[in-house]
Amino acid sequence: AQKVTQAQTEISVVEKEDVTLDCVYETRDTTYYLFWYKQPPSGELVFLIRRNSFDEQNEISGRYSWNFQKSTSSFNFTITASQVVDSAVYFCALSEASNFGNEKLTFGTGTRLTIIP
C-alpha cells in the first residue's frame, strides 16, 4: 500500500533563512508520481510540482528546489531565502501507476511552515 510520511509537523524559521521540508514515501510500484502542494491560510490547495519515478533530476524553480532520491525514497522540498508569504501547510503526495484507473492522491499529513518576520 502507498504511504507518505512527513515527519515534520511544524517548522518555524526566521525570514530569509533556508528551510527544507522532508517527505518519505512507500510504494511497491516501480512507476509512480510524486507531488507537492501548498495550502496557505486561505485554505486552497496549490499545485507546486510533479516528479515521476524515472526522473531523478533535481529541479529548481526560483527560490524553490526539490531533491528526489529513490535510494532513500525521499522527495524533499527546499525554500531558499524564505519569505512571509511562504507560510503555509505543505503537503507531499503520491500516486501509483499500477492500476490506471486508480488516480487518487495519497497525501502526507503535511508540514506547517511559519516564517517569522
Please work out the total of residues on this chain that contact other proteins, with binding judged by CB under 8 A. 27
Least distance CB 22 / other proteins (angstroms): 15
Least distance CB 98 / other proteins (angstroms): 9
Site for other proteins in 2-31 (CB under 8 A): none
Site for other proteins in 35-74 (CB under 8 A): 35, 37, 42-47, 50, 52
CB neighbour burial string for 9-43, b if at least 16 within 10 angstroms, e if fewer: eebebeeeeebebbbbbebeeeebbbbbbbeeeee
Nearer to other proteins, 11 or 105 (CB): 105
- CB-based contact 30:49 (threshold 8 Å): no
Beta strands in the chain (DSSP E): 3-5, 10-14, 19-21, 24-26, 32-39, 46-52, 59-61, 64-69, 74-79, 88-96, 106-107, 111-116
Tell me, residue by residue from 86 to 115, as one string, x for binding to other proteins by CB under 8 A and - for no binding: -----x---xxx--xxxxxxxxxxx-----
| Residue ranges that bind other proteins, judged by CB under 8 A | 32-33, 35, 37, 42-47, 50, 52, 91, 95-97, 100-110
